[in-house]
Chain A
Amino acid sequence: DGGITQSPKYLFRKEGQNVTLSCEQNLNHDAMYWYRQDPGQGLRLIYYSQIVNDFQKGDIAEGYSVSREKKESFPLTVTSAQKNPTAFYLCASSSSQGLQETQYFGPGTRLLVL
């Protein structure tokens, strides 16, 4: 089955620690996205990538980093500079950045701070 997988489902971070969230897709999509979801705030865009080896900051990129070395993979690192990392993180992909393209979402990773 084609789709988007995110791992782990739950992730715990200690103070000062960097953690990496995995996102893999087998939909052959060019564009991938990372969103952060907080209660009552909807989804906010962290980073997005339109093509391999290229990515851009979204609305709340501070304290996060990404890489896009392979088309199917778009890992997100939450660095120690992110002072309030507790949230639900959602990865998405679309076949292109076209206006009519639908974004498909993974099941999410919940990050908690110890």
Chain B
Amino acid sequence: AQSVTQLDSQVPVFEEAPVELRCNYSSSVSVYLFWYVQYPNQGLQLLLKYLSGSTLVESINGFEAEFNKSQTSFHLRKPSVHISDTAEYFCAVRVYGGATNKLIFGTGTLLAVQP
């Protein structure tokens, strides 16, 4: 069965420091990969996605993620974080099975940016 693993439940970091949020997936078939961000008491917003082509994808607010097929990873990085980046981040995998294309989420990583 396909699954998504986010090893870190919380990542504390100081403002302007770099950060990496890890995501690994297990799948025997090709996948599409997504990162969503959730601010407190809100829904999820798409941050970035990998569908095909360049393995490095970027968001408009400075985050980037690299698809590594050999390591089955899709880690999220930002070179310099801001207080406003404090949120929970979810990695998700889109797989195909039967009559539906399910979106499978990891358990989330809380990014806590401290001044």
- Interaction A to B: yes
Chain A residues with CB under 8 Å of chain B are 4, 6, 33, 40-45, 48, 50, 56, 58, 90, 92, 97-108, 110
Q: Chain A residues near B41: list those with CB within 8 A.
A: 108, 110
Nearest neighbor of B99 in chain A, beta-carbon distance: A56
Residue of A42, A44, A106 touching B90 (CB-CB under 8 A): A42
Nearest neighbor of B96 in chain A, beta-carbon distance: A99
A108 touches B43 (CB 8 A): yes
Query: With contacts defined as CB atoms under 8 Å apart, how many contacts are there between chain A and chain B in the complex?
Result: 54
Residue of A56, A97, A100, A105 touching B44 (CB-CB under 8 A): A105
CB proximity of A41 to chain B, nearest CB, Å: 6
B100 touches A48 (CB 8 A): yes
Chain B residues with CB under 8 Å of chain A are 9, 32, 34, 36, 41-46, 49, 51, 90, 94, 96, 99-103, 105-108
Q: How far is the CA of A101 from the CA of B96 in the complex (A)?
A: 12
Q: Chain A residues near B45: list those with CB within 8 A.
A: 105
Q: Chain B residues near A48: list those with CB within 8 A.
A: 100
Nearest neighbor of B106 in chain A, beta-carbon distance: A42
A103 touches B101 (CB 8 A): no
Nearest neighbor of B108 in chain A, beta-carbon distance: A42
Q: Chain A residues near B44: list those with CB within 8 A.
A: 43, 90, 92, 105
A106 touches B107 (CB 8 A): no
Q: How far is the CA of A65 from the CA of B107 in the complex (A)?
A: 25
